[in-house]
Structure 1
Amino acid sequence: MHLLKSRWKIALGVIPALLVYCIFSIIPIFISFYYSFMSWNGFSPMEYVGLANFRAILNDSVFWLSVRNNLIVVAASVFGQIPIALVLALLLNRKIKGAKFFRTIAFLPVVISTVVISLTWRMIYNVEQGLLNHLLNNLGLSALAQNWLGNPDYAMYAIAAVIIWQFVGLYFIIFLSALQTVPKDILEAAELDGATEWQKTRYVTLPSIWGVIIIAVILCISGSLKTFDLIYVMTGGGPANATEVMATYMYTETFQGLRYGYGSAISVLIFVFSIAIIVCANMLLKKRTGTKRA
């Protein structure tokens, strides 16, 4: 009887959050699926067009450019944020002077508003008065100074660097928390057996937190595919669509182009691409885990 009452209390606590999640996350997904088969400008009656929106998207060069840019963001995040965060966590997991200060500094960009970060880095990248070009000029590297956000060849990579910087702290905290759960007696036993720091890290520490690393990679991929606000504030998808990602392109087509059906079809493809990439990454990482155990 007591167990039944506890379950009811848990259910009553979970149901409100579940309702909010369904209303603002699950239901809009189904609405987007419905709109994706329609032609609608938000004012006139909807017209069913079947798969016409998807066919148009697949022949849209700007959409495929946005896909490429999204993949750049995903690659920069996974191969930038995760390794840097892991190295920082391994370094600051030790008892060193000022460790708490460095932990706070590393996490600070995560809690700063994305709009503030976007405006700050836009000033840093400014072609005439930006800190980056000013620093390069003072170091005698004027040839490296660029119009970072105005040059289509460099704009996407400049933004990717900001994205890495912004979210390294999040995964740093996740890894740091995981490292503190690694049994110390195992590390001490490895040390008594003559294992070096690198050997302890490779054969004891990393396998112990591998599950957390997998989760971090999946979070990193899903977050990267939803990148919107930072790019929208810094470049708005320009110049010449060079920094357009799927989310910004969906926003532009939906709310500025008043093509709600087309924009919904893009959102459906974002959902499909996200699931596909996350499933593939999960399979590869778990396969590597199985190989290690074998």
Structure 2
Amino acid sequence: MHLLSQKKWPILIGLAPAIIVYFLFAIIPIVISFYYSLMDWDGFTKMTFVGLANFKEVFNDPIFWQSLKNNLYVLAASVFGQVPIALFFALLLNRKLKGGKFFRTVGFMPVVISTVVISLVWGMMYNARIGLFNQFLKIIGLEQWAQNWLGDPKWAMVSVSITIIWQFVGLYLIIFLAALQNIPQEIYDASEIDGASGLKQTIYIVLPMIWDTIIVAVILCISGSLRTFDLIYVMTSGGPGHATEVMAMYMFDKTFSSTRYGYGSAISLCIFFFSLALIYISNLILRRKTV
């Protein structure tokens, strides 16, 4: 504590640039959104105070609830798809398999590829006439399983979610690998002496030691899922019939296409508070969980 008090000012000076940037680009826009959400404004004419009318309209709009439902679908697919798959492959690669570096590179590659490129490539793969998936089904004699993957409301959200899972598995793979490699070898040796090896070692030794990392990964999944926009916008533009429209797209459409900045700000605040609530609840549940 004495050392911290001596170094207080250098620490504050070092943190100042990051705090200023965060304040300018995160805190201030949120405060401004609060102000705009109480107004009726098209971006050009004079603002009109409407109180909570924008929020009332949001809650009475069925498209908003549909976009929320789609967001929850993406969230569930991300948390229960990306995290377990990434953890599984991280555990495999942590065993120093031959070619491990190659697989780590390949696994992380989708994360750094442009989302627009990924959307276009997967969109072509899902194409109903010449897409890779339908062509493969025809080759193996399952032509009746071919679908209009992005044009059918029953399959569009599933197809988009698979793409999102594929894109970000590599990110959590690297996070889990870093956590696993920080576990001292002595702990593995001691657990083997006590008779814990293989699956038992993973469940009772490894997972508890990286549990905080898993919590962070889940929180990143939740926040990322609720910000999903570009991939779905390029692949389906929210269609067919709002079947893949998420809250960020709904906000974008109402704010910039319909030039309703007050209404769009109200939607953004709903997303903000919904995100905070989900992150708080998930953190509460996971912190109490014992492995």
Specify the alignment match of 1:222 in structure 2. Answer: 223
- Which string of whole-angstrom CA distances, capped at 9 and with x for unpartnered residues, describes residues 176-206 of structure 1? 0000111211211111222230000001000
Gap regions ≥5 residues in structure 1: none
Shift of 1:174: 0.4
Specify the alignment match of 2:14 in structure 1. Answer: 13
Letter paired with 2:40: S
Q: Using the alignment, how far apart are the partners of 1:89 and 1:101 within structure 2?
A: 13
Q: Using the alignment, how far apart are the partners of 2:38 and 2:247 within structure 1?
A: 19
SS at match of 2:190: helix
The answer to whether residue 268 in structure 2 is matched with residue 256 in structure 1 is no
Kindly report which structure 2 residues correspond to 1:188-207, keeping only aligned pairs within 5 A, or say none. Answer: 188-207=189-208
Shift of 1:211: 0.7
Q: Using the alignment, how far apart are the partners of 1:9 and 1:113 within structure 2?
A: 39
- Which string of whole-angstrom CA distances, capped at 9 and with x for unpartnered residues, describes residues 99-152 of structure 1? 000010011100111111111111111111111111111111111111111111
Q: Using the alignment, how far apart are the partners of 1:51 and 1:65 within structure 2?
A: 21
Kindly report which structure 2 residues correspond to 1:162-201, keeping only aligned pairs within 5 A, or say none. Answer: 162-201=163-202
Specify the alignment match of 2:130 in structure 1. Answer: 129
SS at match of 2:252: helix
SS at match of 2:244: coil
Q: Using the alignment, how far apart are the partners of 1:89 and 1:234 within structure 2?
A: 29
Gap regions ≥5 residues in structure 2: none
Q: Using the alignment, how far apart are the partners of 1:196 and 1:16 within structure 2?
A: 48
SS at match of 1:43: coil
TM-score normalised to structure 2 length: 0.96
Matched residue count: 290
User: Structure 1 residues 134 and 207, CA, compared in 2 at 3 Å: closer, same or farther?
Assistant: same
The answer to whether residue 149 in structure 2 is matched with residue 143 in structure 1 is no
CA RMSD, 1 decimal: 1.5
Specify the alignment match of 1:233 in structure 2. Answer: 234
Q: Using the alignment, how far apart are the partners of 1:251 and 1:199 within structure 2?
A: 48
Q: Using the alignment, how far apart are the partners of 1:185 and 1:163 within structure 2?
A: 38
Specify the alignment match of 1:243 in structure 2. Answer: 244
Specify the alignment match of 2:56 in structure 1. Answer: 55
Greater alpha carbon shift after TM alignment, 12-21 vs 194-203:
12-21
The answer to whether residue 213 in structure 2 is matched with residue 212 in structure 1 is yes
Shift of 1:19: 1.4
Greater alpha carbon shift after TM alignment, 17-26 vs 226-235:
17-26
Q: Using the alignment, how far apart are the partners of 2:154 and 2:194 within structure 1?
A: 52
Specify the alignment match of 1:64 in structure 2. Answer: 65
Shift of 1:4: 7.3
Letter paired with 2:104: R
Q: Using the alignment, how far apart are the partners of 1:3 and 1:262 within structure 2?
A: 46
Shift of 1:171: 0.5
SS at match of 1:154: helix
SS at match of 1:153: helix
- Which string of whole-angstrom CA distances, capped at 9 and with x for unpartnered residues, describes residues 153-175 of structure 1? 11111000000000000000000
Specify the alignment match of 1:27 in structure 2. Answer: 28
Letter paired with 2:130: Q
Specify the alignment match of 2:161 in structure 1. Answer: 160
Q: Using the alignment, how far apart are the partners of 2:103 and 2:181 within structure 1?
A: 17
Q: Using the alignment, how far apart are the partners of 1:38 and 1:199 within structure 2?
A: 58
Greater alpha carbon shift after TM alignment, 122-131 vs 1-10:
1-10
- Which string of whole-angstrom CA distances, capped at 9 and with x for unpartnered residues, describes residues 52-85 of structure 1? 1111111100000000000000000000000000
Shift of 1:6: 5.0
Q: Using the alignment, how far apart are the partners of 1:115 and 1:21 within structure 2?
A: 27
TM-score normalised to structure 1 length: 0.95
Shift of 1:34: 0.8
Q: Using the alignment, how far apart are the partners of 1:125 and 1:3 within structure 2?
A: 57
Q: Using the alignment, how far apart are the partners of 2:236 and 2:29 within structure 1?
A: 27
Letter paired with 2:203: R
Letter paired with 1:232: Y
Runs of 4+ off more than 6 Å:
1-5
- Which string of whole-angstrom CA distances, capped at 9 and with x for unpartnered residues, describes residues 27-70 of structure 1? 11111111111111111101010111111111100000000000
Kindly report which structure 2 residues correspond to 1:89-104, keeping only aligned pairs within 5 A, or say none. Answer: 89-104=90-105
